[in-house]
Amino acid sequence: METLLRVEHLKKYFKTPRGMLHAVDDVSFTIGQGKTLGVVGESGCGKSTLGRVIIKLLDATDGRVYFEGKDITDAKGDMRLRRDMQIIFQDPFSSFNPRMSISETIAEPLKIHHLCRSRDALNRRVTQLMDTVGLARRFANSYPHELDGGRRQRIGIARALALEPKFIVCDEPVSALDVSIQAQILNLMQDLQAEKGFTYLFITHDLSVVKHISDEIMVMYLGVMVEKSRSDDLFDQPLHPYTKALLSAIPEPRINKTRRREVLQGEITSPVNPQPGCRFAARCKYAKEICTRQNPELQEVCPGHMAACHFVREINGLQE
């Protein structure tokens, strides 16, 4: 499998009155061509910041990003890169110009990159994109405030697809939608991936959604990666205590089946000027002295299954 995106020791810090906020702290991973990497974690763990740094909406504090083998970390104003890497925002309404109609919104990137030589060609391409995402043509001259959330998200997807990118950051694209609309959007994205070969970084806090769409899943906690594996492996055998707690919180639809709930205790560690040690130690029932003074290394515990925990083998009863 060819690697499309490689991220090495990526960091993004923000200056605050109390010190440096470590939004993304030493994160490394790869995504293969045509695959989906799901990124999960509670609000504030750095998921969205990670996606924005990768596609250059934010500059990295440290680390490198490689796209198709090329270092793009310091790329500035690269129009070709803008075509190849796009984003679908969590709230489509806030990312639209309210004075632009739906057709104008979808046409905007085509105009900027001069991809249509005539007005007729531009209109045909806009109509094609609306058909692709299942948006009725009668909405072409409507405005974002006139449509519901599902249709707005389809506009966001159409706009992201307009330049035929290779890589798309999907920043919680279905979190604000009804369940039935979520299913439609997710199926649409999977169909487009199968047809066009898109590669997704799918950011969400909905574990049911991420299992449905992802090939691999990465779990983040306060800016760091704590676990990464194939989707099925993560749900079948979670290794990190934080991942276990996340999965135990998923509602169980079967009444006659009970699941043991892992209730987290303690206060969340501040991401501002964090001290050495495991970020999850204050809430972990397995934490020992070493967890509060030494950062755990991300290690491959099982083939293709990585976790950052000093006692991951002991907790899960695994041999060295």
Which of 45-59, 87-101, 171-185: highest mean pLDDT? 45-59
Q: What phi and psi values does residue 200 have, to the nearest 5 degrees?
A: -115, 140
CB 95 within 8 A of CB 52: no
- pLDDT value, residue 259: 63
- When pLDDT is cut at 50, 70 and 90, the band that residue 79 belongs to is confident
Antiparallel, parallel or unpaired: β 85-88 and 167-171: parallel
Q: What phi and psi values does residue 23 have, to the nearest 5 degrees?
A: -70, -40
- pLDDT value, residue 257: 60
Provide CB contacts within 8 A for 317, sequence distance 6+. Answer: none
Quote the pTM value.
0.90
Mean pLDDT of 149-175: 89
Mean pLDDT of 214-235: 94
Question: In whole angstroms, what separates CA 183 from the centre of its chain?
Answer: 18
- pLDDT value, residue 150: 82
CB 126 within 8 A of CB 106: yes
Average confidence score pLDDT of the chain? 89
Element counts in the chain: helices (H) and strands (E): 10, 12
Q: What is the pLDDT of residues 225-268, one digit of tens each?
A: 999 999 999 999 999 999 998 888 777 666 666 667 777 888 88
